[in-house]
Amino acid sequence: MVVSSVIIIGLVFLCGKSVEGQCTDGFIKHGDSCYHFSRDTETWLDALVSCEKIYGGHLAEIEDAKENNFLINEVETLGARYWIGGNDLRVEGEWKWYTSNTDITYSTWLPGNPSGGVEDCLEIVDSDGKGPLKPAWNDLQCHSFQKYICETPINEGQIIG
């Protein structure tokens, strides 16, 4: 009995699966979710597909200040721009989370944003520390190449290649 338990735990470890209540390697736990900050860059749509197909999740959907502050602190530490799951592709000016198709009710837009027009996808940007602005949200053309943040539920770790 003990031997089979050790074998199962070993197989879970070797396959890169998360242990219940923890995140898969390469993900950071916060609240009930695990977050992966990509190293590669993709267009918004390709980032969306990568989150789903590779990581079994979706582009991050920010529901409240606590989650936003966590992600912004990570972005500030990493010093980059990251796609998250918001867009107004369906109706100009109506910002929604893509995966859940819910309205964006909490936001921290940079001043002057969203700017409208052809900038239909949402990113978190780092201020570079060169001004009074903290990292915040910006709309950008969806075909731009950015890093991205994937979100998965905490108990559903995925195999990472």
How confident is the model over 98-106, as a mean pLDDT? 96
Spatial CA neighbour of 146 closest among 137, 159, 134: 137
- Give the DSSP H/E element, type plus range, for residue 76: helix 65-78
- Give the DSSP H/E element, type plus range, for residue 13: helix 2-14
Q: What gap in Å lies between CA 124 and CA 107, rounded to an integer? A: 11
pLDDT tens-place string over residues 72-101: 999 989 988 999 999 999 999 999 999 999
Spatial CA neighbour of 32 closest among 42, 43, 40, 22: 22
pLDDT tens-place string over residues 41-51: 999 999 999 99
Distance (Å) of CA 145 to CA 80, 83, 130 = 12, 9, 23
Residue 84, classed as helix, strand or coil, is strand
On whether the CB atoms of residues 136 and 39 are closer than 8 A, the answer is no
Domains of the chain: 2-153 (3.10.100.10)
Specify the pLDDT at position 13. 39
